[in-house]
Amino acid sequence: MPLPTSGRVTAALVFTSALLVAQPDLPLLGWYPHEGGQLKYRVNSRFGEEPDTMPEGWKFGRVSAVATDQANNVYAFQRGPKADPIVVFAPDGRYLRSFGKGLFKSPHGLRLDAEQNVWITDTALHQVMKFSNDGKLQLTLGTAGTTGSDQQTFNRPTDIAFASNGDVYVSDGYANSRIVKFSKDGNYLMEWGKAGRGPGEFQVPHGVAVDPAGLVYVADRENNRVQIFTSDGKFLRQWTHTGSPQSIFITKDGQFWMIADRNRIEVIANEALGGRIMHLDLKTGRILGSMESPGHWLDVARDGNIFIGSLTGNVFRWYPAWPDKGIGSLDAAK
């Protein structure tokens, strides 16, 4: 005669306890292996502020985005009240220049195109702006302070990506659920997506990237997945094993990087403090390596350094290196 449910649970607990008593050396795992193996990087957690070479009194507010140019200079997009919103640093962290004071309401995304123009998204102005590398405004998409879902408006756009011919993809965004495609001159071309959980539908398309073959990758954050499309929006496949993607980046040679949280609820609860950087195989989505990092935005420089924009008010510079010993007295004696 089978045991009632309560009896089966009790029996299972007794059996498990007996196993633990019988095997006192059974390891109790508190830390799980890194997906794909540990990425061997070290971090400079105060890039741009240590050493402090910014104008007197400037400090980062929340750093919503970070990007790098062809010379490995670093562009931080930050929300502090005193420093300019866009601050540019040399690869070693020295202040170079800045711009954008008074132009933005809620800085969010920042990317550089192939011509080194600086593109941003503002989630309160509902606009995308293009600047020359020295900070001159060249193009504005969207209508300031006006929400909508037509060819002239956005509703809290999040990110920008570029095709090889200069076409521009905008992920739109926190309130809309679509990808909008423009020519390099800002002419509307097409769009796809709607709110939902099916293929080609989105819940907060938070990031967008284009691979060397022209395929479009969307960080569908609240659906805990990355969706992959042709250049004209045809759904191809999706990855659902990487958690909730905050930011994605594809290098010129086709390396896929992302920063993600475990799931969409943790993103909100911990303000992206519990993230992991992941390196994925572009063709299969297999995780090749991972490591912990807070972060809202990710960029990989041409020299291989990984930069993270963090809402903690930091730019993290991760660089390939690994310590060969700790700092305890026994380690020091080696």
Mean pLDDT, all residues of the chain: 92
Q: How confident is the model at residue 334 (pLDDT cuts 50, 70, 90)?
A: low
Q: Kindly report, residue by residue over 169-223, the tens digit of the pLDDT.
A: 999 999 999 999 999 999 999 999 999 999 999 999 999 999 999 999 999 999 9
Quick one: DSSP state of residue 202? B
Task: Say if residue 16's pLDDT is above 60.
Answer: no
Sign of the alpha-carbon dihedral angle for 309, 314, 315, 318: negative
User: How far from the centroid of its chain's Cα atoms is residue 217's Cα?
Assistant: 13
Q: Kindly report, residue by residue over 238-267, the tens digit of the pLDDT.
A: 999 999 999 999 999 999 999 999 999 988
Q: Using CA atoms, how far apart are residues 128 and 159, in angstroms rounded to an integer?
A: 9
More confident residue, 11 or 24: 24
pLDDT value of residue 267: 86
Taking residue 146's Cβ as centre, other Cβ atoms within 10 Å add up to 13
ω into 212 cis (within 30 of 0) = no
pLDDT value of residue 20: 44
Contact present, 148 and 157 (Cβ < 8 Å)? no
Q: How confident is the model at residue 279 (pLDDT cuts 50, 70, 90)?
A: very high
pLDDT value of residue 23: 53
Taking residue 282's Cβ as centre, other Cβ atoms within 10 Å add up to 18
Q: Which residues of 216-230 are buried (b: 16+ CB within 10 A; e: fewer)?
A: bbbbbbbbbbbbbbe
Let me know how long the chain is.
Answer: 334
Q: Which residues pair with 84 in a beta bridge?
A: none
Contact present, 192 and 241 (Cβ < 8 Å)? no
**Mean of pLDDT values over 99-123:** 98
User: Hey, what long-range contacts does 55-58 have (CB within 8 A, 24 or more apart)?
Assistant: 55/83, 55/95, 57/82, 58/82, 58/83, 58/87
Q: How confident is the model at residue 18 (pLDDT cuts 50, 70, 90)?
A: very low
**Mean of pLDDT values over 311-322:** 97
Structural domains of the chain ordered from first start: 41-320 (2.120.10.30)
pLDDT value of residue 25: 61
More confident residue, 50 or 330: 50
pLDDT value of residue 161: 98
Q: Which residues of 9-40 are buried (b: 16+ CB within 10 A; e: fewer)?
A: eeeeeeeeeeeeeeeeeeeeeeeeeebbeebe
pLDDT value of residue 27: 66
pTM recorded for the entire structure? 0.91
Q: Using CA atoms, how far apart are residues 143 and 303, in angstroms rounded to an integer?
A: 37
Quick one: DSSP state of residue 241? S
Q: Kindly report, residue by residue over 70-93, the tens digit of the pLDDT.
A: 999 999 999 999 999 999 999 999
Taking CA 325 as the corner, what is the angle to CA 319 and CA 327, rounded to the nearest 5 degrees?
100
Task: Say if residue 11's pLDDT is above 70.
Answer: no
Taking residue 333's Cβ as centre, other Cβ atoms within 10 Å add up to 7
pLDDT value of residue 26: 59
Q: What percent of the chain has pLDDT over 70?
A: 91
Which of 15-24, 116-125, 205-214, 218-227 comes out lowest in average pLDDT? 15-24
Q: How confident is the model at residue 331 (pLDDT cuts 50, 70, 90)?
A: confident
Q: What percent of the chain has pLDDT over 90?
A: 85
Q: Using CA atoms, how far apart are residues 115 and 220, in angstroms rounded to an integer?
A: 28
The backbone torsions φ and ψ at residue 70, rounded to the nearest 5 degrees and listed phi first, read: -65, -25
